[in-house]
């Protein structure tokens, strides 16, 4: 299980939870599992989010997520 820390605005989609656990080994699996467990997150995730794993922003869905990783789902961060 991977614990995913969410930003506070997403609590309304997760019954008030700010940290949720999902079964995943990659970023893509993690995002898909979040939507499956909490369908209200689908529009937010589809619009684009950033995923930080152990302090590093991960851009690819195929990137691994270790079970003991510190994971944060964040509003999309864009350069510019």
pTM, to two decimals: 0.92
What is the CATH classification number for the domain harbouring 10? 3.10.20.30
Task: Quote the pLDDT of residue 54.
Answer: 97
Structural domains in the chain (count): 1
The answer to whether residue 80 sits within a structural domain is: no
The answer to whether residue 41 sits within a structural domain is: yes
Spans of the chain below 70 pLDDT: 77-80
The answer to whether residue 61 sits within a structural domain is: yes
Q: How far is CA 31 from CA 6, 72, 80, in A?
A: 12, 11, 25
| CB-CB contact of 22 with 2 (8 Å) | yes
Domain that holds residue 45: 2-75
């Amino acid at each position: 299980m991977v614990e995913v820390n969410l930003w506070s605005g997403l609590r309304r989609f997760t019954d008030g939870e700010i940290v949720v656990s999902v079964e995943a080994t990659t970023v893509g699996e993690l995002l898909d599992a979040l939507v499956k467990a909490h369908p209200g997150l689908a529009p937010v995730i589809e619009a684009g989010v950033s995923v930080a794993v152990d302090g590093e922003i991960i851009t690819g869905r195929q990137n691994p997520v270790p079970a003991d990783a510190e994971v944060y789902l964040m509003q999309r961060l864009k350069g510019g």
